[in-house]
Amino acid sequence: MKLIYRIAGRYLFSKKSTNAINIITWISIAGMSIGTAALILILSVFNGFESLLTGMLSNFNPDVKVTLVSGKYMSLDSVDMAGIRSLEGVAAAAATIEETSFFDYKGSQEVGIIKGVDTAFIRVTGLDTSLITGRVRLGEDVQYAILGSGMNTKLSVNAEDGFSPLTAYMPAEENKGPLSKQFNTLQVYPSGTFSVGSDVDMQYILVDYSAVNQLLGMENGFSAIELKLRHGASERQVLAKLQAMLGPKFKVSNRYQQDEGFLRIMNIEKWISYLIACLTLLIIAFNLVGSLWMIVLEKKLDIAILRSMGLTRRSIRGIFMALGLQISLIGLGVGFLLGLVLYRLQKDFGLISIPDGFLIDAYPIEIRWPDFIIVTVTVLVIGWLAALLPSYRAGQLGAWVRQE
């Protein structure tokens, strides 16, 4: 085996009789290097977007969310909130209630989601860190609202006007007569604006929990229980304990499961892009096929001598498989180095920028070490496939060469 790799190394680095073979060989290495760098950068950019978006959503979505399997609301008296808060690993828990509502502000009208929260919700999500204007005001005598930045824009809310209320409308549950109200209303005053960089900004208005219950004609109703876990707590154990405590009427979801559809689509896009890049690298590998084939033709006499000295067809094939592997490994190493350099430049200087109107100035990027394993396997498999036909042809050559 050692002899095979030594012969392959000599074939790779020795000067060829035809200079074109040297050129094609190094073009093959350059192509594998560029392809490797492209693969690692594609994965890193998608990793960056995933981390960016999940990080933004973490300021609104809790670590664990308990929702009803069927129905919209349930009375808070039906669950043991004190028991939930005392569970090992739970740092904070908040009951929330939300419903689609119609909003009116000084003639500007929009449909969105009104969500009732209390001060515990701020501890659960850290929403106060996402405020871009104003401050959180909950549980006061005057009802205040915190608007998503998109809703703030759609309703044309004037942050400096503290006297104009925002009115939320909800259909009344019972219509007792022609003079009865068809809608329940709630007047709130904007106290701040938040942004988590997603559709949440375009839909949500946060109001005091008790006020939303009153708007819906309920008392202590909730649609979800949201929890923050302690640092280092076992998520799996907490989810199992919650499910056992609450029973089959409730669904317990971790952060990934809350946005499972969104993250699944992002992962699909990530791996489709990766497969397209792999196909491009496979096309680049045709240079490697040509290079190995030309080396086989040039080394006919050497192969005949090696065969006459006792090397088997399998060993001859192994030499050219090892040659293809060496070319792939050199391309892999140079590609990783190039990818890391471009990663650092993008991370520090934002080489490729994003057009105006986005939350960030340049494409986010994040390297994850398992990606190097995936790319290594991909490149070596493509190199192995490229070396199959030339090595098979080399193995078919006999132990003699006809002299013309």
Whether the per-residue pLDDT at 369 is higher than 70: the answer is: yes
Q: Is 217 helix (H, G, I), strand (E, B) or coil?
A: coil
Whether the per-residue pLDDT at 262 is higher than 80: the answer is: no
Structural tokens at position 165: 């209320």
Higher per-residue confidence, 56 vs 24: 24
Mark which of 258, 282, 312 sits at the end of a domain: 258
Examine the domain organization and report whether 284 and 203 are in the same domain. Answer: no
Mean pLDDT across the stretch 238-259? Answer: 89
Residue 235 buriedness (CB in 10 A; 0-12 / 13-18 / 19+):
middle
Examine the domain organization and report whether 50 and 77 are in the same domain. Answer: no
In a domain, 63, yes or no: no
pLDDT in tens, 81-124: 999 999 999 999 999 999 999 999 999 999 999 999 998 998 89
Q: What is the distance of C-alpha 48 from the center of its chain?
A: 7
Q: Say if residues 167 and 105 touch (Cβ distance below 8 Å).
A: yes
Number of domains in the chain: 2
Residues 284, 29: Cα–Cα separation, whole Å? 10
Mark which of 258, 277, 309 sits at the end of a domain: 258
Whether the per-residue pLDDT at 40 is higher than 80: the answer is: yes
Instruction: Check residue 353 and report its DSSP letter.
Output: B
Q: Say if residues 40 and 365 touch (Cβ distance below 8 Å).
A: no
In a domain, 382, yes or no: yes
Which range among 26-30, 143-147, 148-152 shows the weakest confidence by mean pLDDT? 26-30
Examine the domain organization and report whether 94 and 242 are in the same domain. Answer: yes
In a domain, 377, yes or no: yes
Which range among 156-160, 306-310, 357-361 shows the weakest confidence by mean pLDDT? 357-361
In a domain, 81, yes or no: yes
In a domain, 402, yes or no: no
Examine the domain organization and report whether 189 and 247 are in the same domain. Answer: yes
Examine the domain organization and report whether 7 and 75 are in the same domain. Answer: no
Q: Is 342 helix (H, G, I), strand (E, B) or coil?
A: helix
Strands 144-148 and 204-208: antiparallel
In a domain, 62, yes or no: no
Non-local (6+) Cβ contacts of 105 within 8 A are 155, 156, 157, 164, 165, 166, 167
Mark which of 258, 282, 299 sits at the end of a domain: 258
Mean pLDDT across the stretch 260-275? Answer: 86
Residues 156, 143: Cα–Cα separation, whole Å? 19
Q: Which helix (H) or strand (E) holds 345?
A: helix 313-349
In a domain, 33, yes or no: yes
Q: pTM, whole model, 2 decimals?
A: 0.72
**Count of residues for the chain?**
404
Mean pLDDT across the stretch 29-35? Answer: 91
Q: Which of 312, 338, 337, 289 is nearest to 397 (CA)?
A: 312
Higher per-residue confidence, 38 vs 300: 38
Examine the domain organization and report whether 234 and 372 are in the same domain. Answer: no
Examine the domain organization and report whether 21 and 85 are in the same domain. Answer: no
Residues 118, 136: Cα–Cα separation, whole Å? 10
Structural tokens at position 23: 């050129």
Angle between helices 19-57 and 313-349 (to 10 degrees): 50
pLDDT at residue 1, rounded to an integer: 65
Residues 104, 167: Cα–Cα separation, whole Å? 5
Whether the per-residue pLDDT at 383 is higher than 80: the answer is: yes
pLDDT at residue 404, rounded to an integer: 44
Mean pLDDT across the stretch 257-284? Answer: 86
Q: Which domain holds residue 28?
A: 2-57+262-396
Nearest 5 degrees, angle CA 192-CA 206-CA 78? 150
Q: Which helix (H) or strand (E) holds 22?
A: helix 19-57
